[in-house]
Amino acid sequence: MSAMTKVVAAALLLLTVSAIASAAAMTLRFSDMAPGQVLPPGWKVYAMSRHSANANMAIVRDGSDRVFSIDARHASGAIAHELDMPATTTLSWRWKVDHSVAQADLSKKSGDDFAARVYVFFDVPRSQLSWLQRMKLNVASRSLGHAIPTAALCYVWDNRHPVGTIAPNAYTDLVRTIVLQSGNAHAGSWQPQQRNLAADYRAAFGHAAPRVTGVALAADTDNTGADVRAWFGDLTLAPAMASSAAEATQ
């Protein structure tokens, strides 16, 4: 095979892979919704606590854009979207907060508040959970009125921990918190994020990730009594690059 032929073949392969990835990508849009709309199609309100007040949530204008906003004043608010996707997926989004939650402490239940969260839910078979974990899931499901995922990553805008921190959730060992933004240095400006879900799951839980079953957007101040506001742009889920996906499953 000549050098020119190899170059052409490589270019065709790259175009083919790009076309497949583009075709398989999914975007959960807020940008084409009407301002004031509370629940975009496919999303549902996701209760985080039966004791806290509900935050104000709606599609709002941000300049010429339309985005999803959660105004959490001594309250919590979340919406969730069901999915059925392989773990070898890249999740991209952008978010903005007015400020971080000053009194938050991710290591304590009393401080488990964040200016913004993005959850990703995973389908760990319940048979792989302990009896105690299954019992806690059943109790939480009955209390909140919806199914509880058997594992989740929770990407957060924290107040003080270094970016890249991975920590168990203060309430359950089935959730790992990953700090993507910290403090107020970038508060008030949009911050883009892109995460390889399989790689993050392995880093957080120590083994390969199961299928992705959903995502949720949230902001909460019910534990600390703070007032924060968060904005979220469109979310895009796309196949992870082959090399990254292979590394995540090793």
| pLDDT, mean of residues 214-243 | 91
Q: What is the pLDDT of residues 111-131, one digit of tens each?
A: 999 999 999 999 998 888 888
65 belongs to a structural domain: yes
Of the pLDDT bands very low, low, confident and very high (cuts 50, 70, 90), residue 68 is: very high
In terms of Cα–Cα distance, which of 121, 67, 70 is closest to 94?
67
Would you tell me how many other CB atoms lie within 10 Å of the CB of residue 143? 13
Q: What is the pLDDT of residues 141-194, one digit of tens each?
A: 787 777 888 899 999 999 999 999 999 999 998 999 999 999 999 999 999 999
User: What is the model's pTM?
Assistant: 0.86
What CATH number did the domain enclosing 110 receive? 2.60.120.260
Q: For the chain, what is the domain count?
A: 1
235 belongs to a structural domain: yes
* pLDDT the model gives residue 22: 42
10 belongs to a structural domain: no
Structural domain boundaries, residue 140? 27-249
125 belongs to a structural domain: yes
14 belongs to a structural domain: no
Half-sphere exposure of 250 (CA within 13 A, CB side): 6
> CA-CA distance, 87 to 198, in Å (whole number)?
5
131 belongs to a structural domain: yes
Q: In this prediction, what percent of the chain has a pLDDT beyond 70? A: 85
Pairing of strands 75-85, 43-45: antiparallel
Of the pLDDT bands very low, low, confident and very high (cuts 50, 70, 90), residue 53 is: low
6 belongs to a structural domain: no
2 belongs to a structural domain: no
Q: Which two tokens stand for residue 149?
A: 């995922």
